[in-house]
Structure 1
Amino acid sequence: MHSEDRAGGADDGAAGRSGGRWADDGLQRAGTGAPQEWPGTPPHGDQPSSHTVIDGRYELLEPIGKGGMGEVWKAYDRRLRRFVAVKGLLDWNAMTAGTRTEVMRRARREAEALAKIEHRNVVTVHDQLETDDQVWIVMKLLEARSLADLLSSERVLAVPRAADIGLQILQGLRAVHGASVVHRDVKPGNVVVRDDGLAILVDFGIATFDGAPRVTRLGNVVGTVPYLAPELFAPASPGPTPASDLWALGVTLYEMVEGHVPFGGNAFWEVQENIRQFPEPSLRYAGPLSPVIRGLLITNPLQRLEAAAAEAMLREVIEGPALPNAARAASAPVPAVSVPAPPLENGKRVRFPDWKRVRPPGWKAATAAVCVALLAGAGWIVSNGSRHDDKSGGRAGSEQARDPGGSGTQQQWKDTHTTLKIGVKGDQPGLSLYDEKTKTYEGYDIDLAYAIAESMGYAEPQFTEVPTDYRSTALKTKQVDLIIASYSITDERKSAPPGEYSVAFAGPYYEASRSFLVRDKSTRYTIEDSSDLKDLGVAVCTARDSTYEKTLPAQGFTMAKSQPNTYQDCLDKLLDEKSDVYAVASDDIILAGYLKANPGKVRLLENIQGAEGYGVAMRPENELLKREVCSALRSILAGETWEEMYVKNLAGLMDDKDPPGRPDLTECENH
């Protein structure tokens, strides 16, 4: 780390999107008034208060969570002018004068390990720091509801949705365990679920190292009792392990589909006794999730389902055999579906949502039967061939279909989809940026989305923000219909290898060049062009799952040890004076937006060889949707709309009022 390479002082950090939020929240801007500084040695047991400033940088604003290990605070990073979450790792109640030195040492090691974990399903740790008697971690502030809140409002989740969230939690845990850290408090309250479906594991306040001695408080094992693995109750327990985190995941999966935890009780002895008496809790609604839940809830940790096997089973549930889509047939009789009675809780029946949301055992077969009956009742004929053989109709909403009444009217996507759901970015000035003040998206991609939606007959599309490495998953899980988010068209994405998801593109609607953004001033390195990046071997950051992640190393560039899931995170690293990242690789139009938002702090190098053709992405089976999108793009590119969108959103960034040449719609040739 090079302290002399400052991307800006404490008063001129990246304003970005943070500035407007102060006004929105009615808060005084950090740095004004006389905030309270963190004392040199806080008295034992004292807690920080509002406007405490840690390390001269992070101003605590308000507590946003409280547990046995202390409070989590919403704080303001004065240097980079952004909101963060700050939490102390030390437990005052579990620390004595004799153990303080050792506990402080372990906390430092834990903070260092957590800071190294970079995974889309694990909360990002920005910084670690230490005061006299506390070790702090500074994390990304996530504005999303917890899984616990989601379950409180919806009670239970459909099996596919629960499996998707469970898979994401598991992938996050595998990254955590790979860093030799055990989370130790996996539960719905410590998982946040964004509107776009991304699940993120949070709250590492009581995390510990694999195999570390068990930590207790007042004679009890640390953690949330209903989610504690049975081996943790034993007096001779070796302490928490990755297997105990997997048990907690099994409890969480069970709760998502069954509506309650498998082993009730408030005290640890009650839960322990329930596990002993009923080691195999009944599963009424888990359906295809039953095997993985049972495998994770095996009481012997040595026989418990391992993470890799659990991941494969969850993927199988999500990617289960395709079923025919039911056509709209209001007059078709729907056969009754037999489901078990809902479970008892405190002597009362819990509310049982309709069968579309709760999947009882055998739900796949039941759903298939209902779909077939619906189609047959409406007079539809379903082909048994593959989708490549069924181009003329038979699947409502995905292929060209004819009106069952025989009128010969060609079906439109809007006929079976009342809302057009579009995935977009929220951190790319000029292309797709979320405005905190107006709570709306704006930019070239957004205007294009509106134009396509209007062409398809929609008055207003529904936007969902998707990071770079989540775009294909958002399509696969049907959270969005389209993605218009600077998605580069590549052969690899159109025909992904096994285990990954292929997408279809319409476009390109814009051709971008490749370039680098570097620090404007650096006393350590002189970087004039891209060849200097190669010669110096400095770290280059790019978004995970971007085209640059694979192509740049082959061209001789040195990449950062791990890549974040957004270009904005790369920019944050570039602007951070403590970071070893000296360049951000992306498209020239994306980097031009960041350049304009951070004048005097960064500069753009000359373009390098290669171009990125942006496409509108969708699921491959949606032939009808692709035809309509291609039709809309042809109209947009042929008229004045395309140039108007460029002049409005991009001309100022590129310092060129004349738009570039219009791209050819190579991905629409047969549509």
Structure 2
Amino acid sequence: MQGEDRAGAGGGSGGPWTGSTPQQAGSGAAQHWPTAPSPGASSAPPHAVIEGRYELVEPIGSGGMGEVWKAHDRRLRRFVAVKGLLDRHAVAAGSQASAMQRARREAEAIAKIEHPNVVTVHDQIETDNQVWIVMKLLDAGSLADLLHQQRVLAVPRAAGIGHQILQGLRAVHAASVLHRDVKPGNVLVRDDGQVILVDFGIATFEGATPLTRSGSVIGTPPYQAPELFFSGPSPASDLWALGVTLYEMVEGRLPFDGREPWEVQASIEQSPHPPLRYAGPLAPVIQGLLRTDPAERLDTSTADAMLREVLGAPSNAAPAGTAPRPPEPAPAPAPAPAPEPVPAPRPPAAPPKAPRPGSRKGTKRAVAAALAVVLLSAAGWLVSNEVGSGGKAEDKAGGAVGPDGRDGEAGTQAWQDWKKAHPQLKIGVKADQRGLSLRKRKDSEGNHTYAGLDIDMAHKVAGDLGYGAEDVEFVEVTSGNRDSHLKRKAVDLVIASYTMRKSAEIDFVGPYYEAGRGFLVRKDSVRHGEIKDSSYLKSEKVEVCTAKGSTYAKDLPSLGFTLMESLPATYQYCLEQLLSGKTNVYAVASDDAVLAGYAQSDEVKMLDPIEGTERYGVAMRAGTPALKKKVCSAVAAVLDDTRGWNAMYQKNLAPLLKKPTLGVPDLDPKVCPDS
């Protein structure tokens, strides 16, 4: 690709083309546009007007397939970026109609993606031989420009940029779109630290026919996943490109040699594990994203949790044996470091340069909370919670609630106010736990569906709260980010284990299920052979993998077990490592219900359970007594219906655990004293 698309999202008054009256080119901050394509390469002449509204001013670059123009929006009197999705040199005359239909569908899909880390699309226009998308024009340099200036980036900054790219990809993939050309040149970095994924010129739908030009796979070879050389793209291939980009940021070079596809492919085959000298705590993330088998590659949820862990670690943290970073050359003025997606809770303060909403008292409270959810929730920023100065608990989404959340006139009004402010109930669930909460295929409207005991419980609670199935939205969370999802109001409830109770900012209702505790091991391994019971793990000091911050991480050492030195953020990562059979992970500790879902593999088995149980319940933000009262009533009703509870268990967990019945747990009187 010759030039790079410089259309950006977000913005505000800082960009030279975002005002109500367009400025003359060259009158604001300099736009760092790449070399424009030659006039003969364009399919539209300068000053042509598309649909009587967008006047093409000048070509500003080419990216993917088709040209990019700076254009004047005559209706709203502003400058925008207009991009044609079809390259007339890549589409044969006989396939023009089908190419137009394909581009039309892709433009519609891209236009629906609304995310702060994805280029904003204003409009879609179709002419006789072209499909155009109209995007916000933004003054921002690319990550490629930044790397050219600084050569390498410090680990915290690289992790912050990578995390924002990942958030953008999650939104793209949720819309069933594949970017297909993730690389530094297609990532914009604003002065305030915001990162924007651009250039969807060769984007396609998941599962679509591979798009080629002259028999070659479209894209940029050094960033192409190995499977693209013999099969079609997938979300995993976009994540490979993210891994290459992260590697380039911290190591100052590409992980694999070659400019032509066959050269890159040969380099990957010869050296599938490029050395990491300066990655520090980013090393496991990069290694996980650069797994040559897409089935073993990190998924977005795991990568998200691991990047958050890196961002939460001290900036100078680095694993033992890591070579010291080379001194960075004195850079030219460059964008400020990206804001950390999950900072620790803190009192409200004056916002820094990067817009970051904080709590507000009085009439500004609801406005700030709503704005934070709309603009910042997907970027992973945290909106701090606050309790009124008089000590009265408040629900910042629904206004002040009754003094104790009880039924009665005050309590009823408080609940009505809360429900009015929440027409849709957002529930956080995990997506990778068979029998509990597992992501299924998409429904007729293109939304993911979920199945399991947790999901059935969520629907029962939602129904008791007065929400129909169509009013419930499931949001995927992990052990590492579920509490922050609650705190920043990305979700209203989370179906989770009792480990969330450790936070004073979270209320918990349950248990509705009590899981056993145990281990999953490989049936046979070169080092340990067949592990028959947990006593072997103790006596041989077999390192156990479990989730950092879990009850297992706290309790297992006291029971005589040995933990891995560096624990990951999720159980999912441990299980993937165990199932791969190519790592030093030989045992994983987790809940029996979680492990049973993975024990279906012929290569692993569950050991007999150990002492203790893990309880599951429903979490919510503290300071919402009206909601908590309703959830207490809903969970109590489920547990009172013994037949209904047993039906849920038989449907979801009995086939996995091979236990036909379990006792219905008792609701904890300490969390619901009046239930």
TM-score normalised by structure 2 residue count: 0.51
What secondary structure, in the 3-state scheme, does the structure 1 residue paired with 2:615 have? strand
Identity %: 33
Q: What amino acid sits opposite 1:425 in the alignment?
A: K
Q: Which residue of 1 aligns with 2:331?
A: 232
Equivalent in the alignment of 2:326: 211
Q: Is the 8 A contact 1:574 1:581 kept in 2?
A: yes
Matches within 5 A, 1:476-555: 476-485=487-496, 487=497, 489-490=498-499, 493-496=500-503, 502-525=505-528, 526-555=530-559
Q: Which residue of 2 aligns with 1:669?
A: 673
Structure 2: segments with no counterpart, 5+ residues: 1-172, 179-214, 245-253, 260-266, 341-347, 377-384
> SS of the residue aligned with 1:436?
strand
Aligned counterpart, 2:630: 628
Alignment match, 1:191:
none
CA distance in 2, matches of 1:416, 1:397: 16
**Aligned residue among 599, 609, 612 for 2:611:** 609
CA contact (8 A) 1:426 1:465 kept: yes
Measured at CA, do residues 562 and 322 of structure 1 come closer, stay the same or move farther in structure 2, by a change above 3 Å? farther
Q: Of 270, 286, 290, which residue of structure 1 is paired with 2:352?
A: 290
Q: Distance in 2 between matches of 1:465 and 1:657?
A: 29
Question: What amino acid sits opposite 1:468 in the alignment?
Answer: S
1:632 partner letter: A
Offset from partner CA, 1:467-498 (integer Å, 9 cap, x none): 1111111111111111013x1x25xx4354xx
Q: CA deviation at 1:507?
A: 0.6
8 Å contact kept, 1:400–1:623 = yes
Question: Quick one: distance in 2 between partners of 1:421 and 1:557?
Answer: 38
Q: Which residue of 2 aligns with 1:109?
A: 275
Please give the secondary structure, in 2, of the residue aligned with 1:581: coil
> 1:277 matched to which residue of 2?
none
Separation (CA, whole Å) in 2 of partners of 1:76 and 1:82 = 15
Counterpart of 1:323 in structure 2 is: 361
- Do 1:326 and 1:395's aligned partners in 2 also have CA atoms closer than 8 Å? no
Q: How does 1:365-376 map to 2 (within 5 A)?
A: none
- Find the aligned partners of 1:172 and 1:407 in 2 and give their Cα distance: 39
Partner amino acid, structure 2, of 1:577:
G
Contact 2:515 2:591 in 1 (8 A): yes
Deviations 1:54-94 (A, max 9, x none): xxxxxxx9979648x6545566999xx9956544614558x
CA contact (8 A) 2:592 2:609 kept: yes
Q: Gaps (5+ residues) in structure 1?
A: 1-20, 27-60, 94-100, 130-135, 147-164, 183-207, 215-230, 234-243, 255-285, 294-313, 329-333, 338-352, 360-367, 372-381
Deviation of residue 659 (structure 1)?
3.0
Q: Which protein has greater RCO, CA pairs closer than 8 Å, 6+ apart?
A: 1
Secondary structure of the corresponding residue to residue 387 of structure 1 = coil
Superimposed CA distance per residue, residues 408-450 of structure 1 (whole angstroms, 9 cap, x where no aligned partner): 7563342321111100010000000001355310000000000
The answer on whether the counterparts of 2:514 and 2:614 sit within 8 Å (CA) in structure 1 is: yes
| Residue identity in the other structure for 1:483 | V
**How far apart, CA to CA, are the structure 2 residues paired with 1:355 and 1:514?**
39
Pick one of 480, 501, 509 that aligns with 1:469: 480
TM-score under structure 1 length normalisation:
0.51
- Aligned pairs for 1:412-491 within 5 A: 412=416, 413-436=418-441, 438=443, 439-460=448-469, 461-485=472-496, 487=497, 489-490=498-499
- Counterpart CA distance in 1 for 2:589 and 2:390 is 44
Number of residue pairs aligned between Structure 1 and Structure 2: 414
Letter paired with 2:549? D
How many Å apart are 1:458 and its aligned residue? 0.5
Task: Indicate how the Cα distance of structure 1 residues 453 and 566 shifts in structure 2: closer, same or farther if over 3 A, else same.
Answer: same
CA shift in 2, pair 1:354/1:573, >3 Å? closer
Alignment deviations for residues 138-195 of structure 1 (CA, whole Å, 9 cap, x no partner): 952549999xxxxxxxxxxxxxxxxxx9x9598178568635999xxxxxxxxxxxxx
What code does the residue aligned with 1:140 have?
L
Aligned with 1:411: secondary structure? helix
CA change 1:457–1:73 in 2 (3 A) is: farther
Structure 2: distance between partners of 1:516 and 1:145:
24
Q: 1:89 aligns with which of 240, 255, 263?
A: 255
Q: 1:395 aligns with which of 400, 403, 407?
A: 400
Letter of the structure 1 residue corresponding to residue 351 of structure 2 = L
Aligned residue type for 1:550? K
Amino acid at match of 2:441: E
Give the Cα–Cα distance (whole angstroms) in 2 for the partners of residues 448 and 356 of structure 1.
Answer: 26
8 Å contact kept, 2:517–2:613: yes
4+ residue segments displaced more than 6 Å = 61-65, 143-146, 325-328, 353-359, 401-404
Aligned CA-pair RMSD: 5.3
SS at match of 2:400: coil
2:519 aligns to what SS in structure 1?
A: strand
Q: Does structure 2 conserve the Cα–Cα contact (< 8 Å) formed by 1:530 and 1:605? A: yes
In the aligned structure 2, how far is the partner of 1:475 from the partner of 1:655?
34
In the other structure, the counterpart of 1:643 is: 646
1:347 equivalent in structure 2: none
How many Å apart are 1:661 and its aligned residue? 3.5
Does structure 2 conserve the Cα–Cα contact (< 8 Å) formed by 1:421 and 1:462? yes
| CA pair 180-172 structure 1, distance change in 2 beyond 3 A | farther
Indicate the residue corresponding to 2:110 in structure 1: none
CA shift at 1:536, angstroms?
1.1
Q: Distance in 2 between matches of 1:475 and 1:354?
A: 16
Q: Give yes or no for the alignment of 1:569 onto 2:573.
A: yes
